[in-house]
Amino acid sequence: MNSVTDSPAATATSRPARVGRELHDLLVLALPIMIAQVATTAMGFVDAVMAGRVGPRDLAAVALGNSIWIPVFLLMTGTLLATTPKVAQRFGAGNLHEIGPLVRQALWLAVVAGISALLILISAEPVLHLMNVDPELIKPCMGYLHGIASGLPAVALYYVLRCLSDGLGRTVPSMVIGLGGLALNIPINYIFIYGHFGVPAMGGVGCGWATAIVMWAMMLGMAGWIFWAPAYRKIQLFSRFDWPQGAMIGRLLSIGLPIGIAVFAESSIFAVIALLIGSLGATVVAGHQIALNVSALMFMIPYSLAMAVTVRVGQALGRQQPRNARFSAGVGMATSLAYACLSASLMFFLREPIATIYTTDPMVIQVASMLIVYAALFQFSDGIQVTAAGALRGYQDTRVTMILTLFAYWGIGLPVGYALGLTDWFGPARGPSGLWEGLIVGLSCAALMLSIRLTRSARKQIRISRSAG
- pLDDT tens digits for range 136-178: 777 888 888 899 999 999 999 999 999 999 888 888 999 999 8
What pLDDT, on a 0 to 100 scale, did the predictor assign at position 8?
A: 43
* Element holding 15 (H helix, E strand): helix 15-54
Task: Name which of 242, 268, 301, 261 is nearest 82 in CA terms.
Answer: 261
What pLDDT, on a 0 to 100 scale, did the predictor assign at position 7?
A: 43
374 φψ region: left (φ > 0), alpha (ψ -120 to 50), beta (else): alpha
- Rounded CA-CA distance 298/196 in Å is 37
- Cα distances (Å, whole numbers) of residue 306 to 108, 146, 241, 467: 26, 32, 33, 29
Q: Where are the alpha helices (DSSP H) in 81-204?
A: 83-93, 99-122, 125-130, 135-149, 152-167, 172-194
What pLDDT, on a 0 to 100 scale, did the predictor assign at position 333?
A: 94
What pLDDT, on a 0 to 100 scale, did the predictor assign at position 80?
A: 92
96: DSSP letter = G
> Which residues lie below 8 Å from residue 59, measured CB to CB, with a gap of 6+?
48, 51, 52, 204
Residue 339's pLDDT band (boundaries 50, 70, 90)?
A: very high
Radius of gyration of the chain (CA): 22
- Rounded CA-CA distance 458/441 in Å is 26
- Rounded CA-CA distance 405/263 in Å is 9
What pLDDT, on a 0 to 100 scale, did the predictor assign at position 37?
A: 83
Residue 427: phi and psi, rounded to 5, are 105, -175
Residue 375: phi and psi, rounded to 5, are -60, -35
- Of residues 389 and 126, more confidence is placed in 389
- Rounded CA-CA distance 381/389 in Å is 12
What pLDDT, on a 0 to 100 scale, did the predictor assign at position 222?
A: 93
- Cα distances (Å, whole numbers) of residue 184 to 77, 129, 181, 187, 218: 22, 34, 5, 6, 10
| Other Cβ atoms closer than 10 A to 165 | 25
Residue 13's pLDDT band (boundaries 50, 70, 90)?
A: low
Local structure of 401: helix, strand or coil: helix
The pLDDT tens digits for 246-284 are: 888 999 988 889 988 988 887 778 777 776 776 677 778
- Rounded CA-CA distance 50/39 in Å is 16
Residue 134's pLDDT band (boundaries 50, 70, 90)?
A: low
Strand partners, 425: 427
